[in-house]
Amino acid sequence: RAVAYLEPFMEAEEAGSAHAGRIVLATVKGDVHDIGKNIVGVVLQCNGYEVIDLGVMVPAAKILATAREMDADMIGLSGLITPSLDEMCHVAAEMEREGFRVPLLIGGATTSKVHTAVKIAPRYSGPTIYVTDASRSVAVVSGLMSDEQRAGLVETVKTDYDRLRANHAARGGAVQKTSLADARANRAVLDWSAAPPRPSFLGLKSFEDYPLGELVERIDWTPFFRTWELAGAYPRILEDPVLGESARNLFSDARLMLDRIVSEKLLRARAVIGFFPANREGDDDIALFTDETRRERLAVIHTLRQQGSKGAGRPNLALADFVAPPGVADYLGGFVVTAGIGVDALAKDFEARHDDYNSIMVKALADRLAEAFAERMHERVRREFWGYAPDEALDNAALIREAYRGIRPAPGYPACPDHTEKITLFRLLDAERRAGVILTEGCAMLPASSVSGFYFAHPEARYFGIGKIERDQVEDYARRKGQDLATTERWLSPILAYDSGR
């Protein structure tokens, strides 16, 4: 707000003089997450740079057209979900095709220096630099804008990225992998002699306006501090000798805002959950049925299997392993929750008053409430709706440690890395109508403060990462999903163990 107040005076004093630099920022097409990008924009603006923020879900053509029109000194791309990684590669390729030479900055939770070096930088001959976080953005941008520092910075990054590419190639050849057939032969073999528990209802249950006050006690605050680039676990971070004062001030502001959100009902939380008769189908899929007769299939959930070579006694896991084979009556659950109804309007109201801090704050809190809602709903599933742990009594610390039976893996995360499985999940749950959440073409959820996933109840169900997968599994997966290979490779590009373009 101070910067907004001073801008007219600064513009009057500096009329005719050049700005420190002009940067176009955008969250790429298909992605709706913007908290990190917004923090970067505020930091750059407060350091004298002109920022043209195009918002979220911005296609490559608009990014490049704006950069040309505004004579931008550089372009910054942001993204959170894994499909954004592929879109960033596309933007880089389009910059090369259109003859750009301005620096390209890459940031966001799923991005990394290695991915930037291996996947994005080779597609663009101009400087391409991964920016770790907002606190590093000014140093990178100022270095690129400096006649004295630019050449050295670009050369240092190029040398570093060449080394990362070489190391990545060497590691890829060294990792032992197994064929899909051998991985399936080494599946997890679970005991199905005891009948799986039956949920208290089958079908769907909606929650129209869930009490926000019930979610506050389930908040995991550690990721909240990471959003603001304060690294440390809550509550220890509040007493950290270096970060403690900043963390305490931030936490105090957050609690005051959270109290307002709850007492004034500034946000709404909605959800839908569902339970369906289910059995493993084939090796790696899960068939859902319309009723207990299990004669009519309702949908198929496709899962992937680990292909890394395992030591003795360690199975190659797929989520389908945690569902009973045909002949045993088992079930699968699904959920979509959101705490973001109203957050965009609230954030825009703060922005209109030049209050970027609280605009970012309400989005960060909405994200925490959405995760708390997912935690609370899973708790109720275990104790009430599925009821396989009716006597569970865990405090919030134990819930954060996942010290409970069952898992709730989300499409797009390590055990279920294919975001397109959300399409099936949303159709099953009628999520747009019942929870007010929609999917973008990139399978991001709107509102962004939303969480979705599946419920597995088997006592041995656990989280794991699929890791890299080989072409034999990708081809088999494409066939099972009824997709062409190129489409499947595009959605699974972050976990491919081979170069799909070769």
Catalytic residues: 31, 33, 84
Helix-strand-coil split of the chain, %, nearest 5:
45, 15, 40
Count of C-beta atoms within a 10 Å radius of residue 240: 17
Tokens 């009824």 — which residue? 482
CB 106 within 8 A of CB 129: yes
Amino acid identity of 143? G
> Is the backbone peptide bond immediately before 211 cis, with ω within 30 degrees of 0?
no
CB 77 within 8 A of CB 91: yes
How buried is residue 394: exposed, middle or buried, by Cβ count under 10 Å (0-12/13-18/19+)? middle
Give the burial string for 154-186 (b: 16+ CB within 10 Å, else e): beebeeebeebbeeeeeeeeeeebbebeebbeb
The Cα–Cα gap between 474 and 245 comes to: 50
The Cα–Cα gap between 323 and 282 comes to: 12
Among residues 124, 128, 120, the alpha carbon closest in space to that of 158 is found at 128
Strand partners, 24: 52, 75
CB 273 within 8 A of CB 338: no
Using left for φ > 0, alpha for ψ between -120 and 50, and beta otherwise, residue 343 falls in: alpha
